Amino acid sequence: MTRAAASRTATLVAVVLSIVSGIGALTLDLTVLPTHPEPPLSSGWSGVLPGVAMLVPGALLLWRLPWHPIAVVLTLFGVLWIVDGLAAAAVNYAWYFDQGAWWAPPAFWFFSRFGAVLIFPIVLLLLLFPDGRLRGGVWRIVSIAAIVLGLVLPFAFLFSPAEALSLDNDDRADLLAAFEPALPTLPLPLGVWLALLAAAVPCLGLGLFLALIVCVSRRFGATPVEKAQLRWLVWSALIFLVALVFVFPNVPTGLVDLLLGVTIGLVSASVVVAVTRYRLYAIDRLLSWTLVYGLLICGIVLVDVLIVLAIGSAIDDRVAMLLAVVAVTIAYAPLRGSLYAIASRLVSGRRGDPYAVVSSLGERLDRAPDARAQLAELAAAVAEAFGSRSVQVELDRPGGEAMVAIYGTPIADAAEVPIDHRGEIIGRILIEAGRRPVVSTRDQRLLGDLVRLAAASVRSAELGRALQAGREKLVLAREEERSRLRRELHDGLGPLLAGVKLRLETARNLAERDPARSLALVDAAIDDQSDVIGEIRRIVQDLRPPALDDLGLLGALDQQAARLSGGGMVVTVTGAVPPDLPPAVEVAAFRIASEALVNAHKHSGAARVEVELGEEDGMLRLEVSDDGRGLAAAGSTGVGLHSQRERAAELGGTLEVSSRKGEGTVIRVLLPLRSDTARQEVVADVG
């Protein structure tokens, strides 16, 4: 039989045994309790309830994780709890109906003595989480001390003499006299046994406390997910410890049985969450309400005590109690809300009120003067919302260094959350896990909302900055172009035209006196005029290549290809262009292609270069590919390629370069045939 098969067989045996024992216990309860509502021992259901709370998660774990130590502990002690309930119900039945029954002494021994071990699994669960092994180093010593302290109670009840157990307890003395089996005990003085019995429960509480400390110590060096799992287990174990020390000794036995089942169920469920790594981390509200109701209960008790002490002696006790109820009722509702807000803030930062977090961030972003200040506000808002000491926000900027805002001190192992804006990753958030890590779906949804809100605002601010920079650049370019034209007209055309004018005036003055010299000056003026025409053509060609007007884009590129072909390189131009190509797009495509061809001719060593034109989704597509040596590295682009990208970006287009060393280069350009406004107007007309 395989290990998994043996584990599942043991699981089935445990479940069957528990079902039989549970049915037996409840059947005996139904026989005894209707006529004897206060039996000498706890009812059978009081053992079945915590037993089921441990058995169900334990059996699920044992079936899924063969012989996992934590699964074995839960399953084994779940069965023992249910059998303990059967033993208690059996003793109650024998007490009233058949005190001579053969099964009554072993059932009484199991309940009254062996049953003392049933709290011990809580200590084991805290110490063995999550891998089923004790911690090493000094924590192993603490773990062993917790185990020893937890075993004081079972040891005292298993081996102490009946005299020690029955001292000052007449009901137990009668039961011991009727059902105690004749088993040997350890020969220790009665005083020692009494001391052990007196110290048993405090030792158990101290053992639980040490086990809880060991469990909490696992948080150091744990991942955010493991820390979240530990929060469940620590929270439930703390409730159990508080109930064991402060609640159980002061409430009726029936209520103790009920609370014991509930608290053990909480611990067992928390262990399942931790071991199986289910993403059930919505524990914030439980933690917050635990704090709130703990403080409220303390406040209610304090109000009762103060009223009774202050005026209890002067008025009837019932009136004092009524006043206490009225005072508590008046203060309860508003105090609960305020306490919950404070507790939620302590437990999980401001994430407990996501609307307030988002609203606060929106106001901060509105007040921030620029994108850098908005990033700083986003970092601060995320830190406050998630109780983190370190948040770093990075925003990628095209063609430049990333913009960074830091809250707190950066750390090396921060979790990274991408900033997505309209399907594009524009940056990232590096966040340190705070008092509670960002793991639940609700947390991630809140963080996503914060990121989207800030991304839209920051991107708008960046686009505004880029737009302003673009306007300034256009103004500067326009003024530089005007200055260039002025210089060329003044320094180039101006002197040429002045010289022509001077020759013509001189020729007119010499026309009557020296006709031959006058004609020579006219001929010289005609030659100068040719230089003027050539200068004008040069200036015009710089503004817009004449070939575009004479031949169109394809013809102009064919002309460039013919001029650059040769020396072992062949350039071909293929494809088609849409009619009525916008002049700006036509010039940009010609300039980009010409620059690419010149680069290929000078640097690539290619034997073949292909230029392809076409239309794609309302965009002019231009591809220039060669079979040359390719770019040496991704970052080895020069000024020419940078200017090509700028030409494409000025029209709202894109330019992509793909190249591998020794495999050639492909430059792919997309230029919009219409502006965004024109495309929107077309879509509106179609609609």
- Structure tokens given for 37: 């509502």
* pLDDT value at 654 more than 90: no
pLDDT of residue 568: 79
* pLDDT value at 464 more than 50: yes
pLDDT of residue 677: 46
Q: Is beta strand 403-408 parallel, antiparallel or unpaired with respect to 415-421? A: unpaired
* pLDDT value at 563 more than 70: yes
- The region of weakest confidence among 286-290, 444-448, 491-495 is 286-290
Binned at pLDDT 50, 70 and 90, residue 400 comes out as low
% helix / strand / coil in the chain, to the nearest 5? 70, 10, 20
State percent of the chain over pLDDT 90. Answer: 14
**Which residue spans within 433-579 are E strands per DSSP?**
570-575
pLDDT of residue 276: 54
**Which overall architecture, per CATH, does domain 475-543 show?**
Up-down Bundle (1.20)
Burial of 363 (0-12, 13-18, 19+ CB in 10 A): exposed
To the question of domain 3-280 being in CATH 3.40.50, the answer is no
Sign of CA dihedral 192, 195, 201, 205: negative
Please, what is the average pLDDT of the chain? Answer: 76
pLDDT tens profile 184-222: 778 888 888 889 988 998 999 899 999 989 988 887 877
To the question of domain 552-686 being in CATH 3.40.920.10, the answer is no
pLDDT of residue 685: 42
Binned at pLDDT 50, 70 and 90, residue 675 comes out as low
pLDDT of residue 420: 66
Mean pLDDT value across residues 527-539: 76
Residue 202: count other Cβ atoms within 10 Å of its Cβ: 13
- Structure tokens given for 349: 């930062």
* pLDDT value at 467 more than 60: yes
Nearest to 619 by CA among 582, 667, 574, 657: 582
CB 503 within 8 A of CB 522: yes
- Structure tokens given for 267: 């611990």
pLDDT of residue 210: 93
Mean pLDDT value across residues 456-484: 69
CB 357 within 8 A of CB 348: no
- Structure tokens given for 605: 């060593």
Q: Please, what is the Cα angle at 127 between 122 and 130, to 5 degrees? A: 100
Q: Is 141 helix (H, G, I), strand (E, B) or coil?
A: helix
**How is the chain split into domains, by residue range?**
3-280, 475-543, 552-686
Mean pLDDT value across residues 629-650: 68
pLDDT of residue 412: 66
pLDDT tens profile 287-338: 444 444 455 555 555 555 555 555 555 555 555 555 555 665 565 556 655 6
pLDDT tens profile 1-39: 788 899 999 999 999 999 999 999 999 999 998 888 888
pLDDT tens profile 383-396: 777 667 778 877 77
* pLDDT value at 413 more than 60: yes
pLDDT of residue 306: 57
Do 3-280 and 475-543 come out as alike in CATH topology? Answer: no
Dihedral-angle region of residue 675 (phi above 0 means left; psi in -120 to 50 means alpha; beta otherwise): beta
Mean pLDDT value across residues 506-534: 80
* pLDDT value at 536 more than 80: no
Burial of 632 (0-12, 13-18, 19+ CB in 10 A): exposed
Binned at pLDDT 50, 70 and 90, residue 230 comes out as confident
pLDDT of residue 31: 92
Mean pLDDT value across residues 442-459: 66
CB 109 within 8 A of CB 181: yes
575: β partners: 613
